A and B are shown apart, each in its own frame.
Chain A
C-alpha cells in the first residue's frame, strides 16, 4: 500500500485549534506526561534558534513557517486501561466539525493511530494525530498549512525520541551581585 501522503500538500488556510486541555486530567493517572503548547509567537521565537546550516533543523524551520500553533500531549501509564474511549472521544468530537475529515485509521493489536485533516476545499489548514498503545497516548494538533511528506520524513533525524516524563532544564535564576542590595 502506497503511503497516502506521497504528494506534498501546500495550500494555505487557517486551521482549527483543538482544546487538548480536556486530556490534562489523565496526567494524574499517568506515570509521566508531557505538555507542549506553542502559539504563533513562540513558534517564531523558537524557529529563530533553529540552525539553517543543519539540514534537519532547516527542514523543521521550513515546516514551521506559516504555522499558527502546535500542541502536543503525551502520557505514559504504569498499566493498561488508564485511558478510555471516552477520553479519546473528547478529542474526536472536536474533529467532527466542518472542515475536518478523517484521513487514516490504523489499528494492529494494541497499537492504534488516527489522522485527521482540516481543509477548506483543496487547501489544508491543520492536522490532528491520535496515537496510542496499551500504556501510552499521544495527541498532536497542528494549526496551519503543513507539508506531511516533509513532516513524516523528520522522524528520528534529530535523534530525539518520543520522550515522556522528562522536564526541560528550568530557566536560570539571575545570579546575585555581591555589590547590590536585593530588590
Chain B
C-alpha cells in the first residue's frame, strides 16, 4: 500500500481516486435519443413498476397471495427498519463530523 504521509500525499491520492471517469460508451447517443423521444420516467421508477407488475401477474390463488403479501410486508418493514437505523447512524456521524477538529 502507498505510504500516505504528508498532507500533500494524501490530497494527491484523493485526487487520483476521485478523478473523472467517462460514462459507459454510447452515453451521448442515449442522451440525444432521450431528447428526441422525451423519455419520462427515470430507470428506478420503471424497474419498480416492472417488478410490481411481474409480482401481480405471478401470484395465483389466495394461499400464494397471503404468502406473497406477508413477504411484501416483511420487506417493507425491513426497509423501514434499515431506514431508521441509517438515519440514526448518519445523525451520529454528523455529530462526530461537527465535533472533529
Contact = CB atoms under 8 A, between A and B. Distances in A.
B83 interface: yes
Interface string B70-86: 00111111111111111
Contacts of B74: 45-46, 48-49
Contacts of A158: 82, 85-86
Contact of A115 (B48, B73, B87, B95): B95
- By DSSP majority rule, is chain B's interface helix, strand, loop, or mixed? helix
A139 B4 CA distance: 38
B83 A72 contact: yes
Interface residues of A, number: 53
A9 interface: no
B95 A113 contact: yes
Contacts, number: 137
Given A46-B77, A48-B74, A160-B83, A171 B69 contact: yes
A45, A46, A151, A158: residue with the most chain B Cβ atoms closer than 10 Å: A46
- By DSSP majority rule, is chain A's interface helix, strand, loop, or mixed? mixed
Interface in B16-75: 48, 52, 55-56, 59, 61-62, 65, 68-69, 72-75
A106 B77 CA distance: 32
Interface of A: 1, 3, 5, 34, 36, 38, 42-43, 45-50, 57, 60, 63-64, 70, 72, 74, 104, 106-108, 111, 113, 115, 127, 129, 131, 138, 140, 142, 148, 151-156, 158, 160-163, 168-169, 171-172, 174-175, 177
Interface of B: 48, 52, 55-56, 59, 61-62, 65, 68-69, 72-96, 98-101
